[in-house]
Structure 1
């Protein structure tokens, strides 16, 4: 059973628009401000999507490098870049994300229906992404949208070896239309399936939309960690929009403290995830 709670904030994503969600952080300044606020509350990792000057999702490498540099300069958070981007992004652009040299990056373990779209993750692409992260010393977070993705992860590790840092950490993304439901039985099934992965494997869980609170509570009770943020929900309660990512992090911190599982600091998160300590400036 975990004794501390790793809290990841996913502040932006690629689905919501600034026009629909004015509080969404889409500029670099907004993202850095959000990161500092959420770190002060108890977040240890930031999962990053970026936007262009028109607030549209982008994987522009120059912007990604600037974002990583700014977050490192202004926070101690573990910087985790999304290699998923938007569902329309080509594989070459998704692989190039690693050239921005984050400490962590996401690695989605299979294709999934994503609302009215398809989030395509071919086996060959997954193998390529995993290998490039090994070569660069980038620690993956394996994104699991359905139970079968854990079987794919077992196959990946058996054939191609452990990730950089030697520790396996997964994130159960639950409640996406087309993926597994955001329910306690689904989370328990995934947690039990982790027995087939290397000893010491840890997990976080993400509840999309209305599944946010049920997944948060189920993950804590099962010894898992938490990912929250406006990428995953823009509603704090029924009929009440989220005002900021701080609200969602504060709620997660409160529940973690009630469970007597204090939020981990960024340096503790690095130790857990197999990430080298950040060099002193």
Structure 2
């Protein structure tokens, strides 16, 4: 690759607003962060939303409002999380697609998630993959452990290519219970990625920097954001999501793979100009 796709994941479902006061949880906060991150080099935004109580929600009306606002105020590729919180039922997670984002996450298996379990049954994965294809929503296949790449091969072999006909994988590394966030594990994962696929890598917490550097060196793309880490450096909290995006953009430029524009990312991923 001659450039780098930078995805920002600004909120997530794990951090509580009282613990992380600068976490963007309202629509106004999210849109402001998105605009700043686009200016700093991001081309795609991975979105979790919060309710009026600042807790995670999959409320369809809020999701639709969020997609509309991000499209009105930015040019970013809008990707909704179908993972939600680990307690969200499958029906609610499937209904996320009714908000018609450009892209959505599609996790390839069940994984221990700290003290919780992030459940993704095979039948649910197949249903999610099929509904995305029907709606022309481009999936990002989330991989939390190496065995989930075998599930991805099984899915593609049995149920065909996704909407856009390009496979893009995000390696989520460093989750307690999932694969480690180190270069050795990233290299092992790359041996099992489908031929012709592109990949991003996400390092959770203190693994964010080693995963970022390993991904760039291996020709991969980057996901950063306060969903994944709220520490910028030892003893230093993240100021905002744009700070993380700017660092990723600087590293990508130093690697002579500068950030890709949104107009370059859409054909790369097979994302339509609008849904």
TM-score, with structure 1 as normaliser: 0.97
Pair 278,101 (structure 1): closer, same or farther in 2 beyond 3 Å: closer
Using the alignment, how far apart are the partners of 1:184 and 1:106 within structure 2? 24
Gaps of 5+ in 1: none
Shift of 1:237: 0.8
Decide whether the 8 Å contact of 2:182 with 2:211 is kept in 1.
yes
Tell me the equivalent position of 2:204. Answer: 208
Corresponding position: 1:14 with 2:10: no
Gaps of 5+ in 2: none
Tell me the equivalent position of 2:85. Answer: 86
Q: Deviations over 1:47-70 (max 9, x none)?
A: 000000110000000000000000
Could you tell me which of 225, 248, 255 is aligned with 2:251? 255
Using the alignment, how far apart are the partners of 1:275 and 1:52 within structure 2? 28
Tell me the equivalent position of 2:48. Answer: 49
Could you tell me which of 259, 264, 274 is aligned with 1:268? 264
Using the alignment, how far apart are the partners of 2:124 and 2:42 within structure 1? 30
Tell me the equivalent position of 1:116. Answer: 115
Helix, strand or coil: the match of 2:14? coil
Tell me the equivalent position of 1:219. Answer: 215
Residues 130-209 of structure 1: pairs in structure 2 closer than 5 A = 130-194=129-193, 197=194, 199-209=195-205
Using the alignment, how far apart are the partners of 1:159 and 1:52 within structure 2? 37
Using the alignment, how far apart are the partners of 1:276 and 1:81 within structure 2? 15
Q: Deviations over 1:208-261 (max 9, x none)?
A: 000000000000000000000000000001111111001100100000000000
Shift of 1:193: 1.2
Residues 13-32 of structure 1: pairs in structure 2 closer than 5 A = 13-32=12-31
Decide whether the 8 Å contact of 2:102 with 2:274 is kept in 1.
no
Shift of 1:278: 3.9
Q: Deviations over 1:55-112 (max 9, x none)?
A: 0000000000000000000000000000000000000000000000001000000000
Using the alignment, how far apart are the partners of 1:77 and 1:256 within structure 2? 19
Helix, strand or coil: the match of 2:192? helix
Using the alignment, how far apart are the partners of 1:90 and 1:216 within structure 2? 32
Shift of 1:142: 0.2
Shift of 1:267: 1.1
Using the alignment, how far apart are the partners of 1:219 and 1:262 within structure 2? 14
Using the alignment, how far apart are the partners of 1:14 and 1:277 within structure 2? 28
RMSD: 0.7
Helix, strand or coil: the match of 1:5? coil
Using the alignment, how far apart are the partners of 2:106 and 2:263 within structure 1? 22
Structure 1 runs of 4+ off > 3 angstroms?
none
Using the alignment, how far apart are the partners of 1:276 and 1:11 within structure 2? 23
Aligned residues: 275
Using the alignment, how far apart are the partners of 2:234 and 2:18 within structure 1? 20
Residues 90-101 of structure 1: pairs in structure 2 closer than 5 A = 90-101=89-100
